[in-house]
Amino acid sequence: MLKVHAQSREELQASLKAGLGEGLVLTDAAEMVRYCRDWHGDVSSSAVAVIRPRNVEDVAATVRLCAELGLAIVPQGGNTGLVLGGVPDAPDHQIVLSLERMNAIRAIDTDDFSAVVEAGCILSEFKDAVQEKGMFFPLSLGAQGSCRIGGNVSTNAGGINVLRYGMTRELVLGLEVVLADGTIWNGLSTLRKDNRGIDLKQLFIGAEGTLGIITAVSVKLYPNPEHVETALLGLNSLDDAIKLYRRARRECCDLMSAFEFMPPVAFTLAMEAIPDLKMPIAGDYAAYVLMEISGSGLVDTSDLMSRFLEGVMEDGLVLDGVIASSRAQAQSLWMFREGMNEGQALRGAHMRTDISVPLSRLAEFVAEAEAELAKDLPECLAVSYGHVGDGNVHLNVLPPNGSTREERDHYIYKAKVIVNAVLDRYAGSISAEHGIGRLKRGDFESRLGPVQREMIERLKAAFDPELRMNPGCQLALQAAS
């Protein structure tokens, strides 16, 4: 049970500073702002304090002191999450525990194809350090310049390379975790293969800080794929894009590293954000695919991409396409994919989804959901794009330009009801890669079977009986007594 002490906010802040040292504790409202709002700026909240530990012992001390003071803990990495998993929601009872100062790369071992990195290291900084040693860490996200490894692991982040390398879970070899009672678990193995019973680290990957605080991670590294082929292709339909994916999966085997679907409006949106983007394909097509093949060493990816595209163009599956002839050109193709996200953001608050359905039903699902949206919300713009090779689509709905915040909220609510109703008919997932956090908690709980709920509650009771670890994230639980 969460003990609630009769201390005022100021007394709690003083106790935190006394117990942990002034240097670790932020209480100034202005300084706390950026830790207490979400990435999109949709939600802002507050907290008793923001604690910024320098090492795992600081984290353990914070957890113990919070227990004494009756405070709950919201762990936070780069605060780039899309589901409010790291944003506090009980200003008088929660502290934010930011891992941003624990950002050391403890080891990069090229001989073992492994690395050990602290939770607060920014993903792109880690990727760069690894690349300098000729290695590759495959996790690739739009937010990689700001997100931090601990958050990536806590949310089991996805991204554009999942179809080849898997979600973050599949990249993790070991964890260091501070448990709810302040105990430090050192599970930082770099053994490639270790099958000693129950794999405890799996509990914390994707738990979004509800079972413990990840403070460091050991991960797999890959040989750096020096040869990368990027192509933008025009097709007749999403259905053809999925056919293309299946064929690429066979013909290019495990060398395909990205396969992103975009509708024509993607280019409109991207050019709203980046006006001097040039459309790289002349004609207009109903569907576009951004595809990447990569490899290292003796593998001839250029030849593979050419032969693959020859075949699929001959068969009329791909209507037109361009292969990047330089790294700069490849980057400009990817700018459409990134620009379309920025373009959506520029149009103001909108409904974002992160849906997965079986690949075989993806095109049908998107058509049905878009038809229902067009019928009931004709004034809104539906944009469906994403990692279709994983059955993962971001079906977003943009209210008309000029909508007020209130109108937007109304559109977002209605669109969500429509899309989720279709999704449920397809037995899909409301969260393919973003996690649950606080934003999707209601949708998650309402679809949760009683057996699964009971299992999660047993885990919470076993690892966080006082409900002190990121309460309100994933499930709304009540203390037992």
H or E element: which one contains 395? Answer: strand 392-398
**How far from chain centre, in Å, is Cα 279?**
28
Contact 102, 148 (CB under 8 A): no
- In whole angstroms, the minimum distance from the beta carbon of 111 to a second copy comes to 4
Minimum CB distance to a second copy smaller for 13 or for 257: 257
Determine if residue 71 is left, alpha or beta; phi over 0 gives left, psi from -120 to 50 gives alpha, anything else beta. Answer: beta
- Residue 435 binding a second copy, by CB under 8 A: yes
CB atoms near residue 331 (< 10 Å): 12
When binding is defined by CB under 8 A, the residue of 81, 391, 399, 471 that contacts a second copy is 391
When binding is defined by CB under 8 A, the residue of 19, 70, 187, 348 that contacts a second copy is 187
Minimum CB distance to a second copy smaller for 343 or for 389: 389
Place of tokens 């009872």: 93
Tell which positions 146-185 bind a second copy, by CB under 8 A.
155-156, 158, 162, 164, 166-167, 169-170, 179, 183-185
- Residue 414 binding a second copy, by CB under 8 A: no
Minimum CB distance to a second copy smaller for 25 or for 252: 252
Return the SS3 of 420: helix
Minimum CB distance to a second copy smaller for 145 or for 223: 223
Side-chain-side CA neighbours of residue 405 (13 Å): 3
Tell which positions 289-348 bind a second copy, by CB under 8 A.
295-300, 304, 307-308, 311
Minimum CB distance to a second copy smaller for 24 or for 135: 135
- Residue 260 binding a second copy, by CB under 8 A: no
Please state whether beta strands 72-76 and 94-98 pair in parallel, antiparallel, or not at all (unpaired): parallel
d(Cα 375, Cα 366) in Å, to the nearest integer?
14
What count of residues does the chain have?
481
Contact 321, 282 (CB under 8 A): no
- In whole angstroms, the minimum distance from the beta carbon of 452 to a second copy comes to 7
Q: Which residues contact 38 (CB under 8 A, 6 or more apart)?
A: 44, 79, 81, 84, 87
When binding is defined by CB under 8 A, the residue of 461, 476, 479, 480 that contacts a second copy is 461
Q: Which residues contact 213 (CB under 8 A, 6 or more apart)?
A: 59, 63, 73, 75, 97, 99, 119, 177, 178, 469
Minimum CB distance to a second copy smaller for 14 or for 426: 426
Minimum CB distance to a second copy smaller for 142 or for 280: 142
- In whole angstroms, the minimum distance from the beta carbon of 181 to a second copy comes to 9
Minimum CB distance to a second copy smaller for 294 or for 332: 294
- The 273-292 contact track toward a second copy, x by CB under 8 A, reads --------------------
- Residue 425 binding a second copy, by CB under 8 A: no
First-to-final CA distance of the chain: 6
Tell which positions 202-221 bind a second copy, by CB under 8 A.
202-203, 205-208, 210-211
- The 225-254 contact track toward a second copy, x by CB under 8 A, reads x--------------------x--xxxxxx
d(Cα 241, Cα 287) in Å, to the nearest integer?
7
Q: For 456, phi and psi rounded to 5 degrees? A: -65, -40
- Residue 375 binding a second copy, by CB under 8 A: no
- In whole angstroms, the minimum distance from the beta carbon of 419 to a second copy comes to 16
Tell which positions 345-364 bind a second copy, by CB under 8 A.
356-360
Minimum CB distance to a second copy smaller for 192 or for 405: 192
- Residue 417 binding a second copy, by CB under 8 A: no
Tell which positions 25-54 bind a second copy, by CB under 8 A.
none
- In whole angstroms, the minimum distance from the beta carbon of 220 to a second copy comes to 10
- In whole angstroms, the minimum distance from the beta carbon of 26 to a second copy comes to 29
Determine if residue 232 is left, alpha or beta; phi over 0 gives left, psi from -120 to 50 gives alpha, anything else beta. Answer: beta
Interface with a second copy (CB under 8 A), residue total 93
d(Cα 436, Cα 429) in Å, to the nearest integer?
11
When binding is defined by CB under 8 A, the residue of 195, 326, 401, 481 that contacts a second copy is 195
Minimum CB distance to a second copy smaller for 191 or for 346: 191
Tell which positions 80-119 bind a second copy, by CB under 8 A.
109, 111-114
Report in angstroms the alpha-carbon separations of 339 from 355, 420, 480: 21, 26, 48
469 pairs with which residues across the strands?
73
Minimum CB distance to a second copy smaller for 32 or for 216: 216
Side-chain-side CA neighbours of residue 346 (13 Å): 14
d(Cα 74, Cα 87) in Å, to the nearest integer?
7
